[in-house]
Amino acid sequence: MYSDDLINSYPIFDTHAHYDDERFDSIRDELFHEMHQNGVCGIVSCGCDEASSKRALKMAEQNDFVYAAVGIHPSNIDSGTTIEQIRSLATHPKCVAIGEIGLDYYWVDDNKPQQIEIFERQILLAKELDLPILVHDRDAHGDTLEILKKYKPKGVVHCYSGSVEMAEEIIKLGMYIGVGGVVTFNNAKKLPDVVKIIPDELLLVETDCPYLAPVPYRGKLCHSGMIKYTAQKIAEIRGTTTQQILNLTAKNAKNLFLIK
Ligand code: NI
C-alpha cells in the first residue's frame, strides 16, 4: 500500500530516520513490515532527547532490522536530558551510534556556546564508548568542521548541505557523508557537485523521514523505501546504476555501524 513502484529496490539501508514521529503512529507496524518485505534491510532511527532516544530503542527491540541512535539534538538542549542519561541508553545492544547531535544556527543562534558544549561532550562520550556519531549541521558549517577536525570522531555528517571544499575536509577525516532526498530537488545547488566527489567507501543514503521525501514524493510523508529515488539520482550524477549505489551504501552502513 505504500507506493507499489518502490517494490523490488533493495537492499536499502536508511542511515538516518525519525520513526518515533507521531505521524507514523497509526501506520508504523504495517509500514515496517512492508518495507522489510520490500528490501529495506536496515534503518537507524535517531533520538533527539531522552524520550525520543528511548522510543528509538523500543522500535529497535521490536524490529530486527531497526537500530537506534541516542543523543541530544542541538534544538533540544533545553529538554532536560543529561549526558549521563544518554550514556546509560547508549549501552543498549541495539544502540549503534550517538545521534543526532551537532549544531543548528538556523532556528536559534543565541546559544552557540551551549550547543557547542553539548556537541563536544557527546563526541567525547561516543569516543569513550567507541561508537560513531550522526552529525546535524544546519547553518553552522564553520564551527561544525572545526569541532570535527579537533576531535576526529568516527561517523557521518547527515543530510549534507555544505560546500565541496568542506566535503573534501570531511572526507580527509575519514568521515562518511549522508545524502538525502534533497539531492532530487531542483534547487539542490551544491549537492550534485559534492555527490560527484564522495569516495565509494564513504557514501551513505538516508531519508531524515518523516521529512524531506525525494521527488516524486516531495512534500509527502517520507519513508525509507523512497531511498530508491535518492539512489537513482545519485547514480545518475555518478554515472552508475541505482543497484550499485544501493549495494554500496548498504555495505558502507553495515561497516560503519558494525552490523553483520
Ligand atoms: Ni534528523
pLDDT of residue 2: 54
Give 48 Cα–ligand 1 centroid separation in angstroms. Answer: 8
**What's the predicted TM-score (pTM) here?**
0.95
Calculate ∠ Cα 195-197-202, nearest 5°. 80
Residue type, 240: T
Single out the residue of 39, 120, 16, 29 nearest to residue 77, CA to CA.
120
pLDDT at residue 176 tops 50:
yes
Average pLDDT of the residues in 8-17: 88
Range 118-135 burial, b when 16+ CB lie within 10 A, else e: bbeebbebbeeeebbbbb
Q: 38 alpha carbon to ligand 1 midpoint, in Å?
A: 23
d(Cα 132, Cα 166) in Å, to the nearest integer? 20
168 alpha carbon – ligand 1 mean position (Å): 22
Q: Ligand 1 centre and the CA of 119: distance in Å?
A: 15
Give Cα separations from 90 to 42, 68, 70, 146 (angstroms): 19, 9, 6, 25
From the CA of 222, how far away is ligand 1's center (Å)?
A: 12
pLDDT at residue number 1? 44
Q: Which domains does the chain have, with CATH numbers?
A: 4-257 (3.20.20.140)
The whole-angstrom separation of Cα 104 and Cα 177 is 18
Ligand 1 centroid distance, CA of 68 (Å): 12
Distance in Å, CA 164 to ligand 1 centroid: 22
CA of 135 to the centre of ligand 1 (A): 9
Report which residue type is found at 44. V
For 12-18, what is the mean pLDDT? 98
Report how far ligand 1's centroid is from the alpha carbon of 224 (Å): 13
**DSSP label at residue 204:** E
Say if residue 205's pLDDT is above 50.
Answer: yes
* Distance of CA 136 from the midpoint of ligand 1 (Å): 7
- pLDDT for 10 equals 78
Residues with Cβ within 8 Å of 68's Cβ and at least 6 positions away in sequence, in order, are 44, 45, 46, 47, 53, 56, 57, 59, 60, 92, 94, 95, 96
Distance CA 34, CA 28 (A): 10
Summarize pLDDT for 30-68 with one digit per residue, the tens: 999 999 998 999 999 999 999 999 999 999 999 999 999
- Asked if residue 81 lies in contact with residue 49, where contact means CB atoms within 8 angstroms, the answer is yes
Model confidence over 86-134: pLDDT tens digits?
999 999 999 999 999 999 999 888 999 999 999 999 999 999 999 999 9
Residue type, 122: Q
For residue 5, the model assigns a pLDDT of 55
